[in-house]
Amino acid sequence: MSEQASPDARYRRLRRRLRQRRGLPLDNGAVRPRRFDLPGSRWLTMFDRPLLAIVLLLLIIGSLMVFSATFDWSRETYGTASGFFVQEHLRNIGTAILLMVIFALVDYRFWKRLAVWLLLFTVVALVAVLFIGEEVFGARRSFSGGRFQPGEVAEFAIVLYLAAWLGSKRTQVASFLFGLAPFAIVVGLVAFLITQQPDLSSAAIVVLTAGAMYFVAGANIFHLAAIAVLSSSVGVFLLQVWPYAQRRVDNFLAGLRDVTLAEYHTLQAITAFLRGGWFGVGVGQSQQKFGALPAPHTDSIFAVIGEELGVLGAAVVVVLFICFAIRGFQLARRAKDDFGALLCVGFTSWVIIQALLNIAVMTGAVPSTGVPLPFISFGGSSLTVVMVGVGLMLSVQRVATRRVPISERRSELANTDRGGRHRRPYLSRAGGSPGIAARGG
């Protein structure tokens, strides 16, 4: 009996090693049940809990600060301190969370087929807003009383489209004709339409986010340098065309030499941080929000945080965004395909770039721009598109961690093969070849 068992045992060990090297399950072909389909499992376990915890903390801090920044104005407008907060902000949060859950439950690969149509809709909306949009302070950026802003939808659409396009193995990312040229045309068209509103900050976010995705997808470094030079040249040209932008840059440079000469918005934000000190003056006790800070519940909300919660409270917000970035890139590494990986990279970069710009403006590190703080600032369309992006990231994680039949895993391994002359992405993933990097050329 032992003589017959020994060859069988060696055969089983050899088969396990071969299957392990190929990245396949170690069973004998049976289909394992999906982990999240087991009876009694809670629906919350379907989602990435670290990412949910980070987003929830940011939403709680944002809700607290929005209420603090608007209770006086709400009392005058609605007759109650919580009227605006309850009727507007909580409604926006509820809608955004519902959409996040829906997008998290739907397989993210379903949206790949809609990427082109969403981009076309966005381009049409960007053109339409220039003619029939609502004019506020000389700019046309929104419809329906500011509730729908095509520029913010464009930031979402460009991430989804580039993830689908760059994630296709037929796309030669490092090629000039099939990579750089179409990339520059699409991103340049969207950014150009946004600048016509005018909205330089949203255009910059689109270009920077697209550049990050292009780099991770395996772009030629010289092509990236060319894009950077071209974008900088366009930015300098626009400064000469629009006097208000040049005036902001001049005020910023003057503020670097003498803080008292800084732009009004930046000066009031710095004053708020000085009043707050290390530990803040207490929630609801800010004085700068009463007429001194422009838009204290949107663009200037980080200054309100600095005044009421102090430097330590502002540092907690910064740490949460750092944790969001780390977790987002971790989910990208675990994605099952390039489309999912690029979605996570794109949405993570998009959120972090927005946060960096907002915080940099409030601390006087860059010229003043109108960029909301993700998850924290009041805003219907801005909060909604960010939460939809989080939902897609959760969907990527949910699909990557579920158990699937062996046949499906074999198909996925074949579909994600980037062999031959196609460039490999810079971002390695679990289950793929270790140390994936761009090849020469």
Taking the domains of the chain in order of start, what are their residue ranges? 46-401
In the structure encoding, which two tokens stand for residue 414, read together? 């074949």
Asked if 149 contacts 142 with a C-beta cutoff of 8 angstroms, the reply is yes
The residues with which 139 forms a beta bridge, in sequence order, are 136
Measured distance CA(284)–CA(266) in Å, rounded? 21
What's at 351, amino acid-wise?
V
Cβ-count burial 96-133 (b if 16+ within 10 Å, e if not):
bbebbbebbeeebbebbeebeebbeebbebbeebeeeb
Asked if 396 contacts 343 with a C-beta cutoff of 8 angstroms, the reply is yes
- Measured in degrees and rounded to the nearest 5, phi and psi for residue 419 equal -70, -175
Q: 157: helix, coil or strand? A: helix
Query: What size, in residues, is the chain?
Result: 441
Closest CA to 27 of 429, 409, 413, 400: 409
Angle, helix 301-334 to helix 380-401, in steps of 10 degrees: 20
Residue 369 has, within 13 A of its CA and on its CB side, a CA count of 24
What's at 233, amino acid-wise?
S
In the prediction, which pLDDT does 390 show?
95
pLDDT in tens, the chain (441 residues): 444 556 666 666 666 665 555 454 444 444 444 444 443 345 556 788 999 999 999 999 999 998 888 887 878 777 777 777 777 888 889 999 999 999 999 999 999 999 999 999 999 999 988 888 777 766 777 776 666 788 888 989 999 999 999 988 666 777 877 778 888 899 989 998 988 887 888 888 999 999 999 988 888 888 888 888 888 888 777 777 777 777 777 777 777 776 776 777 788 888 888 988 888 888 888 888 887 788 788 888 999 999 999 999 999 999 999 999 999 999 999 998 899 999 999 999 999 999 999 998 888 777 777 788 999 988 777 899 999 999 999 999 998 887 555 555 455 444 444 443 444 555 554 444 333 333 333
Cβ-count burial 141-154 (b if 16+ within 10 Å, e if not):
bbbeeeebbbbbbb
Query: What is the value of pTM for the model shown?
Result: 0.80
What's at 432, amino acid-wise?
G
In the prediction, which pLDDT does 10 show?
66
- Measured in degrees and rounded to the nearest 5, phi and psi for residue 405 equal -65, 155
3-state helix, strand, coil in the chain (%, to 5): 70, 0, 30
Measured distance CA(281)–CA(139) in Å, rounded? 36
Radius of gyration, alpha carbons of the chain? 25
In the prediction, which pLDDT does 248 show?
75
Measured distance CA(155)–CA(203) in Å, rounded? 9
Q: 134: helix, coil or strand? A: strand
Measured distance CA(192)–CA(325) in Å, rounded? 28
In the prediction, which pLDDT does 18 show?
58
According to the 3-state scheme, what is the secondary structure of 96-120?
HHHHHHHHHHCCHHHHHHHHHHHHH
Asked if 273 contacts 300 with a C-beta cutoff of 8 angstroms, the reply is no
Q: What is the dihedral of CA 379, 385, 389, 394, to 10 degrees?
A: 70
In the structure encoding, which two tokens stand for residue 162, read together? 């580039």
